[in-house]
Structure 1
């Protein structure tokens, strides 16, 4: 139970920084005199760090142990957030975000692999619910910081302090993960190489699903605040709490999915989630009243919540065990790419066509996710196919 609790705490720490940016972005853009779509550059560089550490998460865990990696990651994230809060230079803000991505990626992949190989689908949903808790608290912290001080920097400072405390906790408990690390090492001889995993067609199809999904998840969370305040006349304070409500419903969705996953197959749950997210996005588009938009944002957060952990825990059913470790790392890396690519494209489209294009773009991405999931479901028979054949 202690390792589970630490895993959940680690995922709360992963979610906190992600929850800050959406609310802070209008203030950041004003202070650095940036165009609307400059968020894309920030996401690309942070994702570069995230993707790099995700790909090499297995190596890092073997070198440092998962406990040591958790401590180092939180320390690196704290440094990155501190730089974000004090730097007057946009280039340093971007560089710090890259550092933060490096801190997050390896932990994300490492703990996902640990839970997928050692615990139930229910535990996977609840692990990701803890991420949702962190990303729910983030906008609230930032909104309160802006409301009380009129400065977005205080939100980053508060989360910096939290990350330092977590780094110390993981430092003093790093020995708890020792037995788990030894267990992972016993499987080294069974594991396929990274190259062998990359040659499999299903690996790339799985990566596509993760890329699309995470892009939609983060895109809705990041752009909802700007859409509401700059296009639909919602007050900044209310919009900040609505942004937090998106992540709150997201967290609730993952908690509920953990309870219901024994009654529904992963496939049924994922189809239902995608269709419900499409409905929520349609409500945002229709915008007959701000109340309907708010309902659509909350419904979308609730609906998409089970998808990511469902896809991760289902990896063992789609992929042979010897390919699982590298496949999960590659899926997490692809998720990071999607988290940068989709919101960045949304920002570019918003600059060209206006902010109201964003929900249409997210709706299109959800339909593409539905199609790719359908293809992956039908493509189980080609699981042994690789690019060498």
Structure 2
């Protein structure tokens, strides 16, 4: 490998990390901004679900066609286009006088996010090590940690939620320019002969759908991603509306949830080498359940904050651990089909689980949310137990 190739490779992985930071920042904005958006447009509490559904539709559409898009535009060009779309969507948030204009905006943002997510994951998986993949997902946590902090600062300084979207929109536009001007940094895709030979023995999609473990895998990702995003979205509303916590403190707590999530992902790069996947999954979910008990009992603000941080730290390694354990659950012939099904289920869960939390909160009050998340985590634990006990 030449010096130029090595330099380009380092630049590409740095750009990949930056791309995932940019992917996380918009996700972190909404949870803090939502009470203000509700007040501005006089919306019911569960209207958040409509935004999540539109976002998920855009995300799933672009991620499904990401292979074609990468071949058509290259990974650098795709990142530039995706960041441009996300920046435009956030600018609509800043400017929109009407609630219904936010729906196409959030769809547009979902399209940009889905292309970034699928494109970068594919690129890093092909060209870099598993540890680098762990760092990549930790960088998403950096972005989703910064999002609430930016929004909280904007609200504290101006009393409005819109400036936070303006700041991140301008940052996304700047990143788009960086990606467009660094197209030479990305390695060209090469045929993966070994992977192709391996996939020749893959099962048909219909056969995979008849496997209970494959269906349970979809359920796991549906629940997990919904819980991860749901806690990040609803913690701010729970603390400010239901428990009277000052907005600036609640914003910091929401940021700390994602910060602990990021720390958990970073540390996972080391301790996953010394622990089995089963041990990681059971201990992570068990610790997350303990955190939700603390939040539900509400023994005091500081213990509640500790509970939220514990949940973020605990669940961090669950997603990559479930991905890496796919072959053990379903068998090698079903891996390719199952991974695609899992990612689709994750996107669907990210919309449905937090949306249902909003419906329940409107009916029973916001204090139902930690109980709901506790039940979801228990169901996730049970589905893993059943999956490991059932013969494919």
| TM-score, reference length from structure 1 | 0.91
Q: 1:58 maps to what in 2?
A: 67
Is 2:109 the partner of 1:100? yes
Is 2:122 the partner of 1:110? no
After superposition, give the CA deviation of every residue in 1:264-292 in whole Å (9 maximum; x if it has no partner): 12221121111110000000011111111
Cα distance change of structure 1 residues 193 and 63 upon mapping to structure 2, 3 Å threshold: farther
CA contact (8 A) 1:65 1:178 kept: no
Deviates more, 1:315-324 or 1:258-267: 315-324
Q: How much has 1:177 moved relative to structure 2?
A: 2.9
Distance 1:194 1:154 in 2: 50
SS at match of 1:350: helix
CA contact (8 A) 1:37 1:347 kept: yes
Q: 1:182 maps to what in 2?
A: 190
**Alignment equivalent of 1:12, drawn from 21, 25, 50:** 21
Q: 1:243 maps to what in 2?
A: 254
CA contact (8 A) 1:50 1:333 kept: no
Distance 2:290 2:346 in 1: 23
Q: 1:132 maps to what in 2?
A: 141
Distance 1:175 1:327 in 2: 34
Distance 1:81 1:193 in 2: 44
Q: How many residues align?
A: 380
Distance 1:186 1:353 in 2: 54
RMSD: 2.3
Is 2:139 the partner of 1:161? no
Q: 2:3 maps to what in 1?
A: none
Q: How much has 1:375 moved relative to structure 2?
A: 2.6
CA contact (8 A) 1:57 1:329 kept: no
Q: 1:196 maps to what in 2?
A: 204
Give the 5 Å matches for 1:338-349.
338-349=349-360
Distance 1:75 1:365 in 2: 36
After superposition, give the CA deviation of every residue in 1:58-82 in whole Å (9 maximum; x if it has no partner): 2222222222221111111111111
Cα distance change of structure 1 residues 178 and 329 upon mapping to structure 2, 3 Å threshold: farther
CA contact (8 A) 1:121 1:261 kept: no
**Alignment equivalent of 1:46, drawn from 37, 55, 59:** 55
CA contact (8 A) 1:124 1:313 kept: no
Distance 2:362 2:118 in 1: 34
**Alignment equivalent of 2:86, drawn from 49, 65, 77:** 77
Give the 5 Å matches for 1:139-154.
139-154=148-163
Is 2:226 the partner of 1:226? no
Q: How much has 1:206 moved relative to structure 2?
A: 2.1
| TM-score, reference length from structure 2 | 0.90
SS at match of 2:190: helix
Q: 1:302 maps to what in 2?
A: 313
Q: 2:298 maps to what in 1?
A: 287
Cα distance change of structure 1 residues 6 and 72 upon mapping to structure 2, 3 Å threshold: same
Cα distance change of structure 1 residues 44 and 102 upon mapping to structure 2, 3 Å threshold: same
Deviates more, 1:132-141 or 1:161-170: 161-170
Deviates more, 1:73-82 or 1:58-67: 58-67
Q: 1:366 maps to what in 2?
A: 377
Cα distance change of structure 1 residues 236 and 316 upon mapping to structure 2, 3 Å threshold: same
Identify unmatched segments of 5+ residues in structure 2. 1-9
Is 2:224 the partner of 1:213? yes
Identify unmatched segments of 5+ residues in structure 1. 383-389
Q: 2:96 maps to what in 1?
A: 87
Q: How much has 1:167 moved relative to structure 2?
A: 1.2
After superposition, give the CA deviation of every residue in 1:190-219 in whole Å (9 maximum; x if it has no partner): 646999336413443322211110100011
Distance 2:123 2:383 in 1: 26
Q: 1:387 maps to what in 2?
A: none
SS at match of 2:366: coil
Is 2:41 the partner of 1:32? yes
After superposition, give the CA deviation of every residue in 1:149-198 in whole Å (9 maximum; x if it has no partner): 1111111111111111211222222343342x224588567646999336
Cα distance change of structure 1 residues 349 and 327 upon mapping to structure 2, 3 Å threshold: same
Deviates more, 1:10-19 or 1:53-62: 53-62
Distance 2:201 2:345 in 1: 18
Q: 1:385 maps to what in 2?
A: none
